[in-house]
Structure 1
Amino acid sequence: MGVMEKIKEIEAEMARTQKNKATNYHLGTLKAKLARLRNELFVEQSGGGGGGGGEGFDVARNGDARVALIGFPSVGKSTLLSRLTSTQSEAAAYEFTTLTCIPGVLNYKGSKIQVLDLPGIIEGAAHGAGRGKEVIAVARSADAILIVLDAGKEGLNRHREILEQELETVGIRLNQRPPDVTVSKRKSGGGVRFASTVPQTLLGPEPEKLVTQILREYKITTADVLAREEITVDQLVDVVVGNREYKPCLYLYNKIDTITIEEVDQLARQPHSIVGSVNKRWNIGDPMEDDLLKAKLWEYLGLTRVYTKRKGSPPDLEEPVILSEIRKGTSVKSLCSNISTQMLRDLNYALVWGTSAKHSPQRCGLNHKLDDEDVVQIVTKTIKQQQLDKNYTSLAQQYQDKHSKKRLEAKKQKQKKLRG
């Protein structure tokens, strides 16, 4: 029996099993088996990795953040890319106009956000239907996902639910955070030991028995499991598998000019959703205009502008440093590493003006979290402070070697000119 047949068999058994306390253990075991088989199928189809880019899908990662446009064919993704960026993506009235990944750059609040227009996906994309495998592989590399839906078709076709299911199947969790669960494997015996700081009502009357069975499905027989929050079977499986991607996701209901105001109101009340029309420019303006969609993308990407200043000089308000909560964080340490690794090494303290400071300026350390439009002055260590560092001798030697190499290169160039 193939993997797909096993998956269908387990899904059928889960569908006909009544959900109650008595069947909780059995259903939990089936969910663990189903997740393992789906993971095996995805690895098998992607050639042993997490899914290759494929021809036309290998796009270099640029900018301060990356957003992937996902949706069914002919929902307006290509027109949206052209509206958000200066890139022209082919748009037409027929389906599957876009066949490869087309990148564009959205300039907003001093940041550069890479927007990827992907081919429309169909039901079964998680198993490779309609180049869905390549599309989903690109989605895994994005910082956030913008799902574009046709407001006129959503009521009958349940496109939002189908897309969520496709992404869920390949381990992409939308608008969720990783569960606070630790699984530590042990070399010695003792079986699986489960501990929790809160009651686990979602794991049934015998949580430890269920956790042990789930870990056995993944050939883990000796481990310590600690849960610091109430979790479900699916969340525990996600932690054990370990290859899940947690992405912020914004849903855009496009073409609201084709439906009634009551339907628009209903769609606008959906969680993580906004409504608009690319053609009518409702909530979606030109590349240099501020609008609701750009503001929401900025919020979901967790971007922060930080202005730097030198001692005795005004802050540089023209070119902010863009920090990302998703990538490196928004602390003083992230700011230093974003500018220079040497600055991070030589940092003494930072002076911060802005809403994150209790008083202006506030003297802060590496772990201080910065807010949008904060002004930061980096104060480096003095020579005496650097000399107290245990690595000072090796750093000084590296600097001397680098300086000597430059002088030697300059001398060779000078001799070459004199001879020539």
Structure 2
Amino acid sequence: MPVNAGPEFMEAELEYQRATTPEERLLGLKKMLKTAPKHKGSEKLLAEIKKKIAKILEQQERVKQIAKRAGRASAGIKKEGAARVCIIGATNTGKSSLLAKITNSKARISEYPYTTTEPEIGVLDYIGIKVQVVEIPAIIQDFIETDSGSYFVSLMKESSLLIVLYRNEEERKLVRSELRKMRLSVPTIELSQQEAKERSQDVPWKIWKNLGLIKVYTKQPRKPKEFPPVSLGKGATIRDLATKIHKDFVQKFKHARVFGSSVKFPGQQVGLGHVLADDDVVELYTKD
């Protein structure tokens, strides 16, 4: 007997197929279950929908348990610093080693596969700018469908950059394929295991250049620039800098003097709309 699904079911099925998160897939499945025909010929379809719903609910419960064991809230790891970067790759590609080299992490490093079963976290200090770096457990086939896949994907989705480590072309293609399934719109850097190992000192610079951020220093007249610098998005203005330092700066703003590549000469006087560049040094002046 044919299913003979109506337009409401077809629309719900399309919503499910376009979903990019476990929550969206669950919502789509529930709509499919609600709008699916209820007769002898649809029993198999209904059973499949219920099975998929049960699997997502089970995955969500496992995510909560993982977060609980790690001493974090079920919502996941709190995003800290100027940005979050995730290191991903197949097993034994050197993810833990790279994390340890570029951050303060004490991640367990082993030659045995699948040593990392939960996210490892470190902090990269790039010239005073703090960047959170998270190592994601090994990427495998149908990663998002694994017990904790949706939890790990959510961490990646909230990141500003992904670093993909691989040993060979097969591993690189695997990760690329899995990223397409996850439908992530996150910038990616690909590094071979050998490159990451031999030139790990260059990785922090590569991370910074791909984060879409700039660092700006502030100073008082006739004094050295202050440290650490302030991180801002590319295209940020004096207004953005003043707001980040203190909300009152914008209201009391008089003018600013800038030293760096964004001005024609050192100490040029500018207004709130002036666009800053990386490594600019700024003096802010306020009204009396």
Kept in 2, the 8 Å contact 1:307–1:317? The answer is yes
Counterpart-to-counterpart distance in 2, 1:144 and 1:163? 15
Could you tell me which residue of structure 2 aligns to residue 216 of structure 1?
none
Q: Does structure 1 conserve the Cα–Cα contact (< 8 Å) formed by 2:20 and 2:182? A: no
The separation in 2 between residues aligned to 1:349 and 1:86, in whole angstroms, is: 39
Q: Classify the secondary structure of the residue corresponding to 1:121.
A: coil
The answer to whether the Cα contact below 8 Å between 1:89 and 1:102 also exists between their aligned partners in 2 is yes
Separation of aligned partners in 2, 1:337 and 1:251: 35
Q: What is residue 332 of structure 1 aligned with on the other side? A: 238
> Does structure 2 retain, via aligned residues, the 8 Å contact 1:121–1:131?
no
CA pair 147-365 structure 1, distance change in 2 beyond 3 A: same
* Aligned residue number for residue 44 of structure 1: 25
Of 159, 175, 180, the match for 1:163: 175
2 CA distance for matches of 1:100 and 1:292? 26
CA distance in 1, matches of 2:224, 2:118: 43
In the other structure, the counterpart of 2:215 is 305
Extract unaligned runs of 5+ from structure 2.
Answer: 1-12, 27-55
Q: Residues 67-119 of structure 1: CA distance to partner in whole angstroms, max 9, x if unpaired?
A: 11111111111111111112111121222111111111111212111111111
Which residue number corresponds to residue 370 of structure 1? 276
Residue 251 of structure 1 deviates from its aligned partner by 0.8
Q: Note if 1:144 corresponds to 2:161.
A: yes
| Alignment RMSD (CA, Å) | 2.5
- Helix, strand or coil: the match of 1:148? strand
Aligned residue number for residue 286 of structure 2: 380
Opposite residue 102 of structure 2, the aligned amino acid is L
Corresponding residue number in structure 1 for 2:120: 102
TM-score, normalisation: structure 1: 0.51
Which residue, out of 61, 65, 72, partners 2:83?
65
One-letter identity of the residue aligned with 1:39: A
What secondary structure does 1:164 align onto?
helix
C-alpha displacement of 1:339: 1.0
From the superposition, tell whether residues 277 and 44 of structure 1 become closer, same or farther in structure 2 (CA, over 3 Å): closer
Which residue identity lines up with residue 153 of structure 2 in the other structure? I
| 1:122 aligns with one of 126, 140, 143 | 140
Q: 1:283 aligns with which of 182, 199, 203?
A: 199
In structure 2, how many angstroms separate the alpha carbons of the residues matched to 1:171 and 1:44?
13
Query: 2 CA distance for matches of 1:358 and 1:40?
Result: 46
Compared CA separation, residues 250 and 293, structure 1 to 2 (3 A): same
TM-aligned CA deviation for residue 166 of structure 1: 2.3
> What is the one-letter code of the residue matched to 2:238?
V
- The Cα of 1:362 is off from its aligned counterpart by 2.0
Q: Deviations over 1:120-139 (max 9, x none)?
A: 1211113x225221111100
Decide whether the 8 Å contact of 1:122 with 1:132 is kept in 2.
Answer: no
State how many pairs are aligned.
235
Stretches (4+) displaced over 3 A: 33-36
Alpha-carbon offset, residue 172 of structure 1: 0.8
- Residue 220 (structure 2) pairs with residue 314 (structure 1): no
Deviation at 1:34, TM superposition (A): 6.6
- Matched residue type, 1:163: V
Counterpart Cα distance in 2 of 1:349 and 1:98 = 52
CA distance in 2, matches of 1:344, 1:76: 46
How far apart are the structure 2 equivalents of 1:369 and 1:88?
Answer: 39
Ranges in structure 1 where 5+ consecutive residues have no aligned partner: 1-32, 174-246, 257-275, 285-290, 383-420
